[in-house]
A = this chain, B = another copy of it.
Amino acid sequence: MKNILIIGAGLCGSLLALRMAQRGYQVTLVEKRPDLRKVTQDAGRSINLALSDRGLRGLRLAGVEEEAKKLCIPMNGRMIHDKAGNTFLSPYSGRKDEYINSISRPGLNMLLLDEAEKMPNVNIIFNYACEEVDLENASATFRDFNSKKETTITADVIFGTDGAGSAVRKSMFDNHNFLFSFSQQWLSHGYKELEIPAAKDNGYRTYKNALHIWPRGEDMLIALPNLDGSFTVTLFLPYENSDYCFANLTTPEMVHEYFNKEYPDVVEMIPNLSEEFFGNPIGPLGTVKCSPWNSFGKVLLMGDAAHAIVPFYGQGMNASFEDVVVFDEFLEKYIPSRPPQGGGVDWEAIFKEYETLRKKDTDAIADLAVDNFHEMKEHTAMEIFQKKRKLETAFEAEFPKDYYSKYSLVTFKESIPYSEAMKRGRAQDKAILNLIADGKITEKMSLKEKLELVKKHTEAILHDDEVAFG
């Protein structure tokens, strides 16, 4: 049991290939696109992403954390922009050492491919599109983009890391020899990327070390910095049924009218707004969940192929890298020898145990990401949520070991699984919002007293849920 076929050489697949090679497996890594180190591509995909603690842990496991950090721009908080162009910074945490990073997707992918390729036991094949997987026999058929010829590759086990539109997962969906639970949920909004170019001296046209948000209720614009001084801007807008939506932003005039009204400070920073707008595609925003992740003990889905999420918690890549960490722990437990000794490995048992431990966490981050969509576009502009955020930041600054907001639990507390972070974080949010709404947090209370009250209320909420729902 030594030959591993990994389908999809994006972020998750290339990290997995590197790690499996480090464990001594013979790895074939196949990618349908051209080698992104040689050909510029990725039109319509986010070109930068948020990298945080869970993702860094995966990179650390494979020994590439330090290299990756060179590509990072720290973002210390959300910079909120109102319609008048006023801004205020809402820190991600009250603890100084907790921040997230903006990183180039292709940059990081190149780094991982370079590292994987250095391993003598990794073979990378580009331009091979997976057409079908024979799940019971761990073999996959590919079509070569250039020659158009079909090739079949057989392995001991196959990993499907081919992203949200996974062809490997489609083979599972289409197979009727087992029950495959599957869900794809689209938001009513799509997204479009734009660019704020660098200033003349490669400087940044707005504050560099933040994730910028222009929350407008139904719509939202965000921007993440790039190393070259530019920002990648993403517009989130309803497809239809709104004063401004993709269905009616069909002329340069409409686009300018909309941006002038909602984002006047951005218009100044994007010189060729309408060219950008009409030159870039509209992307859909979807959540994919499925189960089982493995079929017949021969094929396992990982990363977005198993659990695609919307981008609003900045955890998509981080969750995929954490998959590799969690899976690696099972390998360490059951197959510690390097190189692995042949025979006798019950992959199906490993796959099932991995899913049992992991799926509740990827389900949780999927749900949290959808919640955060609403939080970012609406709540960041609402007074009660700003009060809550201010209180939490004060808790974290004053009592750094005693309080973690939901955002901190999810983003910075890699020792706590997403599902736990969700449960505790939601209870805390509910506690604080109710205490504020009911006027139970008063001016004369000390911060310590406020914290104790929030904790007590949070525990009561968790207890009541436990009794009712187990």
Determine which of B180, B284, B434 lies in contact with A467 in the assembled complex, contact meaning CB atoms within 8 Å.
Answer: B434
A464: B residues at CB distance < 8 A: 430, 434, 461
A433 to B468, CA, bound (A): 6
Are A467 and B433 in contact, with the CB atoms below 8 A?
Answer: yes
8 A-B pairs with the lowest CB-CB distances in the bound complex, closest first: A183-B183, A430-B468, A179-B186, A181-B185, A437-B467, A433-B468, A434-B467, A181-B186
CB nearest to A173 among chain B residues: B184
At the interface, yes or no: A330 with Cβ under 8 Å from chain B?
no
Whole-angstrom distance from the CB of A363 to the nearest CB of chain B? 12
A186: B residues at CB distance < 8 A: 179-181
Within A278-298, which residues are at the interface with B (CB < 8 Å)?
284, 286
Whole-angstrom distance from the CB of A383 to the nearest CB of chain B? 14
A434: B residues at CB distance < 8 A: 464, 467-468
What is the total number of copies of this protein in its complex? Answer: 2
Are B429 and A468 in contact, with the CB atoms below 8 A?
Answer: yes
Residue ranges of A at the interface with B (Cβ–Cβ < 8 Å)? 179-186, 239, 284, 286, 426, 429-430, 433-434, 437-438, 461, 464-465, 467-469
CB nearest to A352 among chain B residues: B241
A179 to B188, CA, bound (A): 9
Write 12 A-B pairs (CB below 8 A) sorted by A numbering.
Answer: A179-B239, A180-B184, A181-B185, A182-B182, A183-B185, A429-B468, A430-B465, A430-B468, A430-B469, A433-B468, A434-B464, A434-B468
A437 to B182, CA, bound (A): 37
A185: B residues at CB distance < 8 A: 181, 183
Are A184 and B181 in contact, with the CB atoms below 8 A?
Answer: yes
Are B179 and A284 in contact, with the CB atoms below 8 A?
Answer: yes
A82 to B182, CA, bound (A): 36
Whole-angstrom distance from the CB of A120 to the nearest CB of chain B? 41
Known: A430-B468, A467-B434. A182 touches B181 (CB 8 A): no
A426: B residues at CB distance < 8 A: 468
A469: B residues at CB distance < 8 A: 430
A437: B residues at CB distance < 8 A: 467
Are B179 and A182 in contact, with the CB atoms below 8 A?
Answer: no
Whole-angstrom distance from the CB of A173 to the nearest CB of chain B? 9
A429 to B182, CA, bound (A): 30
A438: B residues at CB distance < 8 A: 467
Known: A429-B468, A433-B468, A467-B434. A184 touches B182 (CB 8 A): yes
A241 to B7, CA, bound (A): 30
A229 to B181, CA, bound (A): 38
A181: B residues at CB distance < 8 A: 184-186
With a 10 A CB-CB cut-off, give which of A180, A181, A284, A286 has the most chain B CB atoms. A181
Determine which of B183, B284, B433, B465 lies in contact with A182 in the assembled complex, contact meaning CB atoms within 8 Å.
Answer: B183
With a 10 A CB-CB cut-off, give which of A286, A465, A468, A469 has the most chain B CB atoms. A468
CB nearest to A284 among chain B residues: B179
A183: B residues at CB distance < 8 A: 182-185
A179: B residues at CB distance < 8 A: 186, 239, 284, 286
CB nearest to A371 among chain B residues: B469
CB nearest to A461 among chain B residues: B464
Whole-angstrom distance from the CB of A459 to the nearest CB of chain B? 14
A465: B residues at CB distance < 8 A: 430
A179 to B179, CA, bound (A): 24
What 19 new A-B contacts, CB under 8 Å, besides A179-B239, A183-B185?
A179-B186, A179-B284, A180-B184, A181-B184, A181-B186, A182-B182, A182-B183, A182-B184, A426-B468, A429-B468, A430-B467, A430-B468, A430-B469, A433-B467, A433-B468, A434-B464, A434-B467, A437-B467, A461-B464
